[in-house]
Amino acid sequence: MAFSFEKFVQKSTRGLFAFIVVIMVVPLVLWGYMGDDQKREEDKGDAGVIHGVIKISKAEYNRHLETAAASYWWKKFNDPMTMMLMRYGRQPEPPKPDDVAKQAWEDIILLREAKANGIEASEQERLMEMRDIFQKFTGGRMEYTDDTMARIATDLFKVSFTSFNKWIADHVVIEKLLTLVGNSEFADFDKVYDRLMTGQQMAKVWYASFDPKDYLKDLKTPTTDEIAGYYQKNKDKFKVPSKVQVAYLMCDVDELKKAEPEPTEEEIKTYYNANQQEFSKPHEHQPGEEHKEGEKQEIKPLSEVKGEIPNKIKTRAAEKKAAEIMSKVDVALGAVATANNGNYPDDVFDQLKAKFKDDKLVYDITTSFDPKQVEDIEKIVGANSQLATWAFDPSLKVGTVSQKIRTSKGVALFRLQKKIDSLDPGITERTRETIVKELQKEQIRKKTTQVATNVVQEISTNGMISARVKYPIDGRLTRYFKVGQDTGIEDAALGQAISQQVQGHQVRPGKASVLSGQMLRNKDKADWSYVVYLEDLVDVPPEDVSTQFNGSRRGLDEEARKRYREVFTQKAVQDANLTVDPSMKKTDTKSTDSAPKP
């Protein structure tokens, strides 16, 4: 019988193939079975009950828990206040586990409500919503890609792209429900009318001015007790401030610059090429042209800036040399301190100046100065000296030497020479005079305010005629003026204050009120008082009243609908009377990561 290799292979490998099939398929079956069982265990049972009878399974709850973060952040992104704060760098707090769980239940309840009303979402609606969200967060400047959409999902909405797609479908259904509900709400007619008439009213105002100088005859000399009491309450105002005196050892950049050689043509060209940003032209746009990010700035040509480059080169070289010199001085200072057991001798700056006599160091001692006089000292040593903080540090001891400090004039070391503590001088003659003036000024202010208050009281009780008879005041009447605009009063600051009072409804038709001079943008009249009486306030509809009414109504309708959506959502959740299953209290929901930065 002839040997057949083909039959041998078929017979010998049949068992091998069977073995491979068992080895590969059985684990897959077991893995699939065990994985599916694990999933069912997680979703097994009920998460809660709504409306007393409708059971929500853990499977349904867990699905919405995965997408709840997206709903949470969607609300944040549509809240104007939150978005404004985010533009200024204040990020909202990420949701806590309870927030995510609460949002999941809200989504479930609203979806059940939508289903009960036959609301569904088509695939086309889902895709359109996906497109709208993409454009919202890219500004409409990018072509759609799944990669970009996935980044929006994970970075902004804090969910996976798969969960985001599920959320989109639910989100469309919920939005359709809330839109239908919201469209049934309209703004009150009275509110529309009030909005329409904002800035469309004409007013006529009677006003009277009360000058503090008219009551100087009523002044009384403050008593000794009143003076002492004022002093005790305002001691800090009369304290003699603490003062210091410092010595400074400085390498002056301007002095070093005088010794710098004039740069060569090649050095000028090299500096220009290496520092072109210093010579950029002001960025300008034509009318109507928008600024675009990444626009290249134009650089001034070398011929235009060549004259200013030599000074820049010499300044930079002098600054470098000053830093090097003061570094050597600083090392020598450390050696002096080491030789004196960590202390600096009184003549330490004299020693250093003598040691580095060839380096043109400037050494001097300032006059005594207080914190308000630091600017005067900086005219000598340069701005950014840090003396306002360093020299007045309460823990600083006389003899202390500062670190090297780079000022606008060079590099300096400071030494605290003298320290004078603040002083309570007591009630000196000069202090007494100041206090008397302040107390008398307060007397006049109170008197002026009291007279104005009495006039308002008389008008409110017995009417304008009685007030004008009882108080011989010089009242004046404005012309009719548009609320919020020019009143025609000669004193522009007073006119503006009165107009604002009427616009802000702080004075009502037929009513009088006191206007403090401090409300005026005029320091000279801060102590004055005014009586303002709104004699008449009439509505003057705009010429295109129909158009403006419809515009105001549309705006207020949108506001009313937005509020009603929120009210409906809150009421739907409340009416659902959710009862969470006790087993859910053990659920540990993870909060999302840090707040997104769209």
- Which band of pLDDT confidence, cut at 50, 70 and 90, is reported for residue 5? very low
| Cβ neighbours, 10 Å, residue 383 | 10
Whether pLDDT at 70 is above 70: yes
Q: Per-residue b/e over 551-562, b at no fewer than 16 CB within 10 Å?
A: ebbeebbeebbe
Domain boundaries, the chain: 5-44, 47-186+556-586, 201-222+438-539, 240-264+306-420
Decide yes or no: CATH 1.10.3470 for domain 240-264+306-420.
no
CA 66 to mean position of chain CA atoms: 33
Q: Which residue has the tokens 């009275």?
A: 190
So what's the pLDDT on residue 18? 43
The larger pLDDT score, comparing residue 541 to residue 269, is at 269
Q: Which residue has the tokens 């939005």?
A: 175
Distance CA 173, CA 123 (A): 11
So what's the pLDDT on residue 594? 55
Query: Could you tell me which residues come within 8 angstroms of residue 178 by beta carbon, excluding any fewer than 6 positions away?
Result: 110, 565, 568, 569
When mean pLDDT is compared over 142-151, 315-324, 464-473, 551-560, the highest value belongs to: 315-324
Whether pLDDT at 1 is above 60: no
The larger pLDDT score, comparing residue 542 to residue 110, is at 110
So what's the pLDDT on residue 178? 87
Helix (H, G, I), strand (E, B) or coil at 178: helix
Virtual CA dihedral for 173, 179, 184, 185, nearest 10 degrees?
140
- Which band of pLDDT confidence, cut at 50, 70 and 90, is reported for residue 532? very high
pLDDT single digits (tens) 233-257: 998 888 889 999 999 999 999 999 9
Least confident stretch, 207-216, 250-259, 562-571, 586-595: 586-595
So what's the pLDDT on residue 287? 54
Average pLDDT over residues 46-64: 91
Degrees, nearest 5: CA angle 421-422-423: 115
So what's the pLDDT on residue 285? 56
So what's the pLDDT on residue 40? 57
pLDDT single digits (tens) 18-37: 443 334 433 433 334 444 44
Distance CA 581, CA 55 (A): 10
Q: What is the CA radius of gyration of the chain?
A: 40
Least confident stretch, 25-34, 84-93, 375-384, 452-461: 25-34
Whether pLDDT at 299 is above 90: no
What letter would DSSP give residue 153? I
Sheet of 243-252: strands edge to edge?
361-365, 243-252, 410-420, 405-406
Which of 215, 246, 542 is CA-nearest to residue 370?
246
Q: Per-residue b/e over 84-109, b at no fewer than 16 CB within 10 Å?
A: eebeeeeebebbeeebbbbbbbbbbb
Least confident stretch, 121-135, 376-390, 459-473, 575-589: 575-589
Q: Which residue has the tokens 């919405």?
A: 64
